[in-house]
Amino acid sequence: MAKIRRAPLGERNIVGAKVERLRRAKGIKQKELAAMLQSAGMDIGETSLSRLEGQTRLVQDFEIPILAKTLGVSAAWLLGEEEEQQ
């Protein structure tokens, strides 16, 4: 069963909420997504991924294309520059 977020969303990035929503929609656990991102060259652990999704961790510019490719969306969509896709 998925945990319910206790802390309110932060304001340190604009992609975290989309990453979380998309991950959940695809039925991927945080641990699995962290492993997928690591395989794609992004140095991230489960705790950092949780903070990214909770928008309390900054997202580096080079991480956005990796997140997008791994989740099967465009970087522009993650950044809110394209209409919703799913």
User: What are 65's two structure tokens?
Assistant: 């294309």
Note down the domain range covering 28. 16-78
Q: What is the mean pLDDT of residues 7-23?
A: 89
31 within a domain of the structure (yes/no): yes
> Model-level pTM?
0.86
Distance, CA of 55 to chain centre: 9
Residue 85 falls within a domain, yes or no? Answer: no
Q: What is the DSSP letter of 59?
A: -
27-59-82 Cα angle (round to 5) = 65
In a domain, 66, yes or no: yes
Q: Angle at CA 56, nearest 5°, toward 29 and 30? A: 5
Q: Answer yes or no: is 35 within a domain.
A: yes
Count up the domains in the chain and report the number.
1
Q: How far apart are CA 86 and CA 10, in angstroms?
A: 24
- Residue type at 79 in one-letter notation: L
Residue 10 has pLDDT above 90, yes or no: no
Question: Could you read off the pLDDT of 21-50 as tens digits, one per residue?
Answer: 999 999 999 999 999 999 999 999 999 999
CATH number at residue 38: 1.10.260.40
